[in-house]
Amino acid sequence: MEFLQPASWAEALELKAADPRAVPIQGGTDVMVELNFDRHRPPSLLDLTRVTELAQWGTENGHVRVGAGVSYSRVIAELGDQLPGLAMAARTVGSPQIRNRGTVGGNLGASSPAGDCHPVLLAVDADVVVASVRGTRLVPVREFFTGVKRNVLAPDELIESVVLAPAGGPQQYSKIGTRNAMVIAVAAFGLALHPAQRHVGTGIGSAAPTPRRAPDAEAFIDGVLDSDGLWDSREPIPDAAATRFGDLVASASSPIDDVRGTARYRAHALSVLARRALVWAWDELRGRR
């Protein structure tokens, strides 16, 4: 096995192009588990922790660009104001030790249906910046995941960053698990209110082969908020509408039975998570939380 340690982004892309089977490693919280248990022995590891460009975040054209090497701990400490949903999701990841190492870029790269960042990134319609020696392209996160632990990355591509708008309204992330820490979500839900666009964004985790949106639920609640004039009146969302929203989120999922839970439980949990997330976010918008 080879250990490749590029010192710059350009060098990293060249190494990946020369050795497309090289496995990128950042915090190691997924890759090292595979190696420790000898489940996977790649021809080479591409260590991205020396690529300083990846460990930075900044604001460009009114959007926040979070480098693929920014840890969850830093998302929580440095980006909680601008990206509250992502910070909430980051706070639920693993333990302090894991959050010090794990990254948003690594979460995307692993493309687990249970990845904690994904529901929020879907709800805010983030873009993933992917690059290779051939150039850089922007992939909407909604098109990024193609299957269980699969994504659109070509063999020579690496994730550079994720780009998203600073929150224009309240955001939520909720997750079901057996305890508060060290949990792979049984079901998870991300929600973002976009008052300027008069839109509610959604993201489902751990309840389908890929993280996915709930478009029918979005259309339904957008319609209710619009026809009842709630964006202007800031009156409470009727209970029946919130419940219907939860049911539509659940019906957008296609969960399986596995060791962590049954499909039926996941769908039910998701309907509850979605209803609560909507009400919590709406109450925050109304200044009641």
Which residues are near another protein by CB under 8 A? 1-3, 5, 25, 27-29, 31-33, 35-37, 41, 44-45, 47, 49, 73, 94-98, 100-101, 180-182
| CB of residue 163 to another protein, shortest distance in Å | 26
Q: Which is nearer to another protein, 56 or 136 (CB)?
A: 56
| CB of residue 198 to another protein, shortest distance in Å | 37
Q: Which is nearer to another protein, 41 or 62 (CB)?
A: 41
Q: Which 3 state secondary structure label does DSSP give 168?
A: coil
d(CA 271, CA 126): 24
Q: Which is nearer to another protein, 5 or 243 (CB)?
A: 5
Q: Which 3 state secondary structure label does DSSP give 221?
A: helix
Q: Which is nearer to another protein, 7 or 148 (CB)?
A: 7
Give the dihedral of Cα atoms 164, 251, 242, 275; nearest 10 deg.
-60
Do residues 119 and 113 touch, judged by C-beta distance below 8 A?
A: no
Q: Which is nearer to another protein, 41 or 61 (CB)?
A: 41
| CB of residue 98 to another protein, shortest distance in Å | 6
At which residue do the structure tokens 């922790």 appear? 49
Q: Which is nearer to another protein, 180 or 227 (CB)?
A: 180
| CB of residue 197 to another protein, shortest distance in Å | 35
Q: Which 3 state secondary structure label does DSSP give 134?
A: coil
| CB of residue 200 to another protein, shortest distance in Å | 30
Q: Are strands 23-25 and 44-47 parallel, antiparallel or unpaired?
A: parallel
Give the distance from CA 260 to its chain's centroid.
Answer: 20
Q: Which is nearer to another protein, 22 or 108 (CB)?
A: 22
- The neighbour count for residue 3, using CB atoms within 10 Å, is 10
| CB of residue 68 to another protein, shortest distance in Å | 15
Q: Which is nearer to another protein, 101 or 244 (CB)?
A: 101
Phi, psi of 176 (to 5 degrees): -105, 135
Residue closest to 219 by CA, chosen among 250, 249, 187, 254: 249
Phi, psi of 106 (to 5 degrees): -70, -35
C-alpha angle 12/16/22, rounded to 5°? 115
| CB of residue 3 to another protein, shortest distance in Å | 4
| CB of residue 245 to another protein, shortest distance in Å | 31
- The neighbour count for residue 7, using CB atoms within 10 Å, is 10
